[in-house]
């Protein structure tokens, strides 16, 4: 493992399981000090402790990304405790995200948009100035394949993730002059605990999704973490404003 994030301070939202936890571990193994922002204290502290046992540096900061003040606090801890902020993986999202337009109401819509889009707005609002003040860096927002294609069974979620892609591109244009890169990951099927639970509870539906996957499999969490780490490193200085598919070719067929 290289040290390409050596001396960098990064935050990850939704960092207690799945892609977020995998990224936190990978970034720490590459030399970063990682601040894990999430709601689940027990899992957050366990993830930070696991990183410490492996010789890395991590701190869990209780954070509900739908609450602006808590996101601001997460960034403030990075700056005050560790001297700055150089990168972020805005990964938090999901929840009750499925539902065709005819089946959802305003409260459902607001909840999905808050968790999956407004949370990224909060994060960027506080991360970008801190990264600029630290001399520049990189932000990666976790979107989804439904950030670039439609899904008739996930109207609110698709709208939110399309919003993440648009917000990413606009913020990248705004922040480029200040030395901050901003990109989005267009992730497909990933072997997270959520996917594993879905395959057990809905095996036929999971099989149908895999049949549409050119590679015939879901990505491992470590594959997403490795790519996000690359984008946060100094090895990707000319990549910004991009919605980068890491989906096993799924969107290539649309």
| pLDDT tens string 194-226 | 777 777 878 887 788 788 889 989 888 999 999
By the 8 A CB rule, do 250 and 212 touch? yes
By the 8 A CB rule, do 50 and 189 touch? no
Residue stretches of the chain with pLDDT short of 50:
none
Question: What pLDDT sits at residue 90?
Answer: 98
By the 8 A CB rule, do 243 and 143 touch? yes
Question: What pLDDT sits at residue 240?
Answer: 98
Q: 59: which strand partners?
A: 35
- Give, in words, the CATH class of 9-192+221-242: alpha beta
Nearest to 181 by CA among 244, 242, 91, 246: 242
Within 13 Å of residue 124, how many CA atoms lie on the same side as its CB? 25
End-to-end CA, the chain = 36
Q: Are strands 137-142 and 87-90 parallel, antiparallel or unpaired?
A: parallel
Nearest to 168 by CA among 244, 56, 97: 244
Check: pTM over 0.75? Answer yes or no.
Answer: yes
Helix residue ranges, H only, the chain: 18-29, 41-53, 68-82, 106-113, 119-133, 155-175, 193-201, 203-211, 221-232
Active site residue 157: yes
Continuous segment of H or E residues that includes residue 181? strand 180-187
d(CA 54, CA 21): 14
- Residue 14 tokens read as 């939704």
Q: 246: which strand partners?
A: 187
Sequence spans of domains, the chain: 9-192+221-242
pLDDT 10s digits, 100-130: 899 999 999 999 999 999 999 999 999 999 9
Point out the catalytic residue in the list 117, 157, 175, 236. Answer: 157
């Amino acid at each position: 493992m290289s040290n390409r994030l050596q001396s960098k301070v990064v935050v990850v939202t939704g960092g207690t399981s799945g892609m977020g936890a995998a990224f936190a571990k990978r970034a720490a193994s590459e030399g970063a000090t990682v601040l894990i922002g999430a709601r689940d204290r027990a899992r957050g502290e366990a993830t930070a402790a696991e990183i410490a046992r492996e010789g890395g540096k991590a701190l869990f900061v209780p954070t509900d990304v739908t609450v602006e003040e808590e996101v601001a606090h997460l960034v403030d801890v990075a700056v005050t405790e560790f001297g700055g902020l150089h990168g972020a993986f805005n990964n938090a999202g999901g929840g009750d995200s499925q539902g065709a337009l005819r089946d959802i109401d305003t409260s459902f819509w607001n909840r999905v948009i808050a968790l999956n889009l407004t949370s990224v707005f909060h994060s960027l609002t506080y991360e970008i100035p801190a990264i600029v003040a630290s001399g520049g860096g990189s932000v990666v927002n976790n979107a989804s394949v439904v950030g670039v294609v439609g899904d008739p069974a996930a109207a609110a979620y698709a709208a939110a993730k399309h919003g993440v892609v648009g917000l990413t591109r606009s913020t990248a244009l705004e922040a480029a002059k200040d030395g901050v890169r901003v990109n989005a990951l267009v992730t497909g099927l990933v072997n997270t605990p959520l996917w594993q639970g879905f395959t057990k509870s809905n095996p036929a539906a999971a099989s149908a999704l895999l049949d549409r996957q050119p590679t015939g499999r879901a990505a491992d969490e470590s594959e997403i973490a490795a790519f996000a780490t690359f984008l946060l490193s100094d090895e990707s200085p000319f990549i910004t404003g991009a919605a980068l598919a890491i989906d096993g070719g799924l969107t290539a067929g649309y």
